[in-house]
Structure 1
Amino acid sequence: MKIALIGYGKMGKAIEEIALEKGHEIVLKIDADNQGDFTADNLKKADVAIEFTSPHSAVENIKKCLEFGVPVVSGSTGWLEHWNEVKEKCEDKNGALLYASNYSVGVNIFFELNKYLAKMMQPHQEYDVMLEEIHHTQKKDSPSGTAITLAEGVMQAFKNKKQWVNHISDNVDDLEIISERVDPAPGTHKIKYRSAIDDIEIIHTAHNRKGFAGGAVLAAEFLVGKKGIYSMKEVLGL
């Protein structure tokens, strides 16, 4: 498989390492210093693009890949207010897009565990629920995309939670997500149910970027040759 890396920071380099170990070829690397190389001719050398950039550049990067007819796996977060725009572009170009807020196999299992636990807890109104997430100081968005996905999973069961907020709140309709930025911290996510009697917590802690990078390569392998919009649920059969 020939891969274009759109974004060549720490995550891009981790993806490159795993892709090469699996026998794939990196045919293009795009970062802030060589945007002029992000052309149709260069991109079309790839079977698939893997895009990990920043919230302010992700949408245009994804649309560019779709415009040039190259399937794209995106792991950038913080841009989903433009989801419908990107979805329409993918459909208009009969393209292929796979998006996940987190590509770690363990995190995607954690997503499903979170939703299952929320369904179990919902009838027990003596418990309140909140989320915590910790990442390194270079992470540009807050809360993390993973935390937002977890919050949405909770709110599917807890209809009384009307919105998530990224601060402590006295409003019972709010689902709190508390964010912390410290180094070094690849990522920790906690869902806590609290009552006067006891607490119940589930926690996922990443030890390094390999889980995210390996899942992104797995997603790219899945997407090659396909059309449409996918998530890690399809990749992992969850």
Structure 2
Amino acid sequence: MKIALVGYGKMGKIIDGIATSRGHEVVARLNETPAAENLNNPDVVIEFSQPEVAFNNIKTCLENKIPVVCGTTGWLHQKPEIENIAKENGTAFLYGSNFSLGVNLFFALNEKLADLMKNFSEYNIQLEEIHHTHKKDAPSGTAISIAEGIIKNNPNFNAWKLHETEKNQLGIFAIREDEVPGTHSVYYRSEVDEIEIKHTAFNRNGFALGAVIAAEWVRGKVGVFSMNDVLGL
């Protein structure tokens, strides 16, 4: 498979190595805006760039009828428009706030626990995410996905917010520490005990491998997808 990498920072370089090791050809490594001329006719684009340029990067690729796997967070207010562009151009768009297999299993566990706990109001719910100091968006896209999973299964909440949980707004503490790949925790605290679920990434390799697997899966498909589709969750 021919893969174009749009966004060639730390993640792009790791994806490059994993894609090559799995027998794929990386035909473009771009930090500039993609165009038909510099994408070099790939089968799939993997986009890990920055929030301020992600929309235009993805839009250009989809309008050239190239499927896109995107892991950039912090731009999701424009995601519905991108989904429409993918459908209009008869190609595929797959977004993941986190491509790690473990995190996607964590998402499923989080929703199950939220459903179990929805009737126990004595427990206060709080989210926490820790990332490296280079991360520009806060909270992380993964933390937002976790919060949305709880909100979907617990009628006591209708939105999320930064910092502490207040009434019907689910709180997310966003902490930045040197070189932390990503740690996400959900706490259910009462006066007598606490239930915690937690995912800790040791490095970026799991994210990169998941992105390549998603690219392998999405090739030749038409529509809007997520890692749930890739993993059958």
- Give the TM-score of the pair, scaled to structure 2: 0.97
Task: Report matched runs for 1:1-238 at 5 Å.
Answer: 1-32=1-32, 35=33, 38-169=34-165, 171-238=166-233
- Separation of aligned partners in 2, 1:201 and 1:19: 35
CA deviation after TM superposition for structure 1 residue 200, in Å: 0.2
When the two chains are superposed, the root-mean-square deviation of aligned CA atoms in Å is 1.0
CA deviation after TM superposition for structure 1 residue 44, in Å: 4.8
**Share of identical aligned residues, percent?**
52
Contact 1:43 1:68 in 2 (8 A): no
- Separation of aligned partners in 2, 1:159 and 1:179: 24
- Separation of aligned partners in 1, 2:18 and 2:95: 19
- Separation of aligned partners in 1, 2:122 and 2:140: 28
Task: String of CA shifts for 1:100-153, please: whole Å, max 9, x gaps.
Answer: 100001100000000001111111111110100000000010000000000000
Structure 1 runs not aligned, ≥5 long: none
CA deviation after TM superposition for structure 1 residue 95, in Å: 1.4
- Separation of aligned partners in 2, 1:101 and 1:70: 20
- Give the TM-score of the pair, scaled to structure 1: 0.95
Letter in 2 for 1:152: E
SS of alignment partner, residue 179 of structure 1: strand
Deviates more, 1:53-62 or 1:160-169: 160-169
Contact 1:44 1:69 in 2 (8 A): no
Letter in 1 for 2:3: I
Contact 1:95 1:227 in 2 (8 A): yes
- Separation of aligned partners in 1, 2:84 and 2:2: 26
- Separation of aligned partners in 2, 1:157 and 1:50: 31
SS of alignment partner, residue 130 of structure 2: strand
- Separation of aligned partners in 1, 2:221 and 2:179: 37
- Separation of aligned partners in 2, 1:99 and 1:151: 17
Letter in 2 for 1:2: K
- Separation of aligned partners in 2, 1:192 and 1:28: 42
Contact 2:87 2:222 in 1 (8 A): no
